[in-house]
């Protein structure tokens, strides 16, 4: 299989290395220091099975890589509007595009029988750029359960089992989703194909929403956010609001808040991706993880005041960091 990974961050590197180890023809669309690291040293993954190095083809030009069988989009959601319109040279008529991203996906209303209006989310795709970039028929939904951290450009550590869930965005069972799951499982990424991908998306959104903004405010790990008695009431409020919103869109969630919190506490001393981004000075994925949920709740008339307050505080802290950096730069000059 010709497989391209768009974005060689923590998730993209994990997928790329595992697929390359399984013998697939893997290429990476990257730029800057990451592209230079791949071209000079390859990609390196430290996981539960040891340390692995792969040397995929890499370029910042999709035309150099050419048409692929599968394209994994693993960039941050903050970069999608820039990245997706450039993918044309990677796409043939039968190419599968798998967005391995956080938060509510831009395709949320595509192919959903329960939501015939097929409206885009203003918080994610206000001008329809993402919807036009990739035909909905070529998308396979994906929910990522890989906890990984970038140690340096092209070097990633992932100390938990690798797991993905994939499924058609119109909720039908399909051979291509089953084949994709088998391909990934064969590469050491335990992958399940589902005929109800939005239920799984909502489950992951609840995880992101109840932990990521709080981690930016507190610096806490998943173990602390879900395990500390002082944090539990706040986490329960966020979960309750988000679960009401999910239910309003027909989601079936196979857990209660206490079970969800117990599982979160069992994840250990894991730092969320948003906390990693905050500490590295990168933009936060608040639109996909937070604002989109607020928009969906507002469309159904569901008040989620606690969630809105936490998102606002996380955004304020991010803005303060940016302003502080600018002020420091002025002083040093």
Tens digits of residue pLDDT in 16-73: 999 999 999 999 999 999 999 999 999 999 999 999 999 999 999 999 999 999 999 9
Please indicate, yes or no, if residue 332 is contained in any of the structural domains: no
Contact 192/236 with Cβ under 8 angstroms?
no
159 in the same domain as 291:
no
Single out the residue in 195, 227, 254 at which a domain terminates: 195
- Mean pLDDT value of segment 66-85: 96
Rg (alpha carbons) of the chain, rounded to whole number: 19
For position 327, what pLDDT does the model report?
39
pLDDT value at position 332? Answer: 33
Instruction: Look at residue 322 in the predicted model and tell me its pLDDT.
Output: 82
Q: Reply yes or no on whether the pLDDT at 169 is more than 90.
A: yes
Q: Note whether 132 and 7 are same-domain residues.
A: yes
Strands annotated E in the chain? 2-6, 25-29, 43-47, 50-54, 57-59, 68-73, 91-99, 140-145, 149-152, 155-157, 163-168, 190-193
Same domain? For 133 and 190 the reply is yes
Number of separate helices (H) and strands (E) present in the chain: 14, 12
pLDDT, residue 330, reads 35
For the ranges 137-141, 226-230, 250-254, which has the lowest average pLDDT? 250-254
Give pTM, 2 decimals. Answer: 0.91
Residues 31 and 104 in one domain: yes
CATH of the domain at 154: 3.40.50.720
**Number of domains observed in the structure of the chain:** 2
Residue with tokens 């923590």: 10
Confidence bin at 197 (pLDDT 50/70/90): very high
In angstroms, rounded to a whole number, what is the distance separating the alpha carbons of residues 12 and 322? Answer: 27
At residue 141, the pLDDT reads 97
The reply to whether 177 and 52 lie within a common domain is yes
Decide: 6 and 83 in contact? Cβ < 8 Å: yes
**Is residue 62 domain-shared with residue 11, that is, in the same domain?**
yes
The residue among 179, 195, 211 that closes a domain is 195
What does the buried/exposed string (b/e) look like for 185-218 if buried means 16 or more CB atoms within 10 Å of the residue's CB?
bebbbebbbbeebbbbbbbbbbbbbbbbbbbbee
pLDDT tops 60 at residue 298: yes
Domain co-membership, 20 together with 131: yes
325 — pLDDT class (breaks 50, 70, 90): low
Residue ranges making up the domain that contains 40: 2-195
- Angle at CA 231, nearest 5°, toward 230 and 237? 125
Output the average pLDDT for the chain.
92
Categorize the per-residue pLDDT at 113 as very low, low, confident or very high, splitting at 50, 70 and 90. low
Note whether 238 and 283 are same-domain residues: yes
Whether 293 has a pLDDT exceeding 60, the answer reads: yes
Angle at the Cα of 147 from the Cα atoms of 142 and 153, rounded to 5 degrees: 100
pLDDT band at 112 (very low <50, low <70, confident <90, very high): low
Confidence of residue 326 (pLDDT cuts 50, 70, 90): very low
Are 253 and 311 in a shared domain? yes
The pLDDT value given to residue 111: 73
Residues acting as catalytic residues: 204
Q: What is the pLDDT of residue 323?
A: 81
Q: Are residues 183 and 282 in the same domain?
A: no
Q: Which residue has the higher pLDDT, 116 or 105?
A: 105
Whether residue 159 has pLDDT greater than 70? yes
What six digits make up the tokens of 310?
């936490």
Mean pLDDT of the 124-131 span: 93
Looking at the fold, whether 167 and 216 belong to one and the same domain comes out as: no
Q: Which of 195, 229, 263 is the last residue of a domain?
A: 195
Residues 171 and 204 in one domain: no
């Amino acid at each position: 299989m010709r497989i391209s990974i768009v974005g060689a961050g923590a998730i993209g590197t994990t997928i790329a290395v595992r697929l390359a180890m399984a013998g697939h023809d893997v290429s990476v669309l990257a730029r800057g220091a990451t592209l230079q690291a791949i071209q000079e040293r390859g990609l390196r993954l430290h996981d539960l099975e040891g340390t692995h190095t792969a040397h995929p083809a890499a370029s910042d030009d999709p035309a150099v890589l050419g048409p692929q069988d599968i394209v994994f989009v693993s960039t941050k959601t903050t970069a999608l509007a820039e990245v997706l319109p450039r993918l044309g040279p990677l796409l043939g008529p039968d190419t599968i595009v798998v967005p391995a991203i956080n938060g509510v996906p831009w395709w949320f209303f595509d192919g959903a029988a329960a939501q015939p209006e097929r409206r885009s989310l203003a918080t994610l795709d206000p001008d329809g750029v993402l919807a036009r970039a990739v035909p909905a028929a070529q998308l396979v939904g994906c929910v990522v359960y890989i906890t990984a951290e970038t140690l340096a450009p092209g070097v990633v550590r992932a100390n938990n089992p690798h797991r993905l869930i994939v499924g058609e965005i119109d909720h039908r069972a399909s051979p291509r989703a089953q084949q994709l799951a088998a391909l990934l499982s064969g590469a050491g990424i335990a992958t399940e194909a589902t005929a109800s991908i939005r239920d799984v998306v909502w489950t992951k959104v609840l995880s992101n929403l109840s932990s990521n903004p709080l981690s930016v405010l507190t610096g806490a790990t998943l173990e602390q956010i879900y395990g500390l008695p002082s944090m539990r009431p706040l986490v329960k409020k966020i979960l309750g609001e988000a679960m009401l919103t999910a239910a309003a869109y027909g989601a079936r969630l196979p857990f209660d808040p206490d079970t969800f919190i117990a599982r979160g506490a069992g994840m250990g001393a894991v730092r969320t991706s948003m906390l990693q981004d905050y500490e590295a000075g990168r933009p936060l994925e608040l639109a996909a993880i937070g604002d989109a949920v607020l928009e969906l709740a507002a469309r159904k008339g569901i008040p989620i005041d606690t969630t809105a307050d936490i998102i606002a505080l996380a955004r304020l802290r991010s803005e303060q960091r940016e302003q502080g950096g600018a002020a420091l730069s002025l002083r040093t000059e």
